[in-house]
Amino acid sequence: MLIPYARRMMLLHEETVAAIQKPEVAGSVRLGIIDEYASHYLPEILATFASTFPNVLVTVRCEPSVSLRPLLSKGELDLALITGGPDDKGEFIRNDPAVWVTSAKHNIHEQDPLPLAVFKTDNTVRKWPMEALDSINRRYRIAYESPSDTGMQAIVAAGLAVSFLLQSVVPQSLRILGPSEGFPELPVAKILLKKSPSATSKAVECMAQHIVDEMR
CATH topology of domain 96-188: D-Maltodextrin-Binding Protein; domain 2 (3.40.190)
Domain ranges of the chain: 2-13+24-94+190-215, 96-188
Collapsing DSSP to helix, strand or coil, 161 comes out as coil
What share of the chain in percent tops pLDDT 70?
95
- Quote the radius of gyration of the chain (alpha carbons, Å): 20
Confidence at residue 21, expressed as pLDDT on a 0 to 100 scale: 59
Same-fold call for 2-13+24-94+190-215 versus 96-188 = yes
Tell which residue, 213, 204, 216, has the closest CA to residue 53: 204
DSSP H helices in the chain: 2-21, 35-52, 65-73, 124-135, 149-157, 202-215
Under the banding of pLDDT at 50, 70 and 90, the label for residue 88 is: confident
More confident residue, 13 or 40: 40
* Fold of the 2-13+24-94+190-215 domain: D-Maltodextrin-Binding Protein; domain 2 (3.40.190)
On whether the pTM is more than 0.85, the answer is no
pLDDT at 38 over 60: yes
- Per residue in 170-215, pLDDT (tens digit) is 999 999 999 999 999 999 999 999 999 999 999 999 999 999 999 9
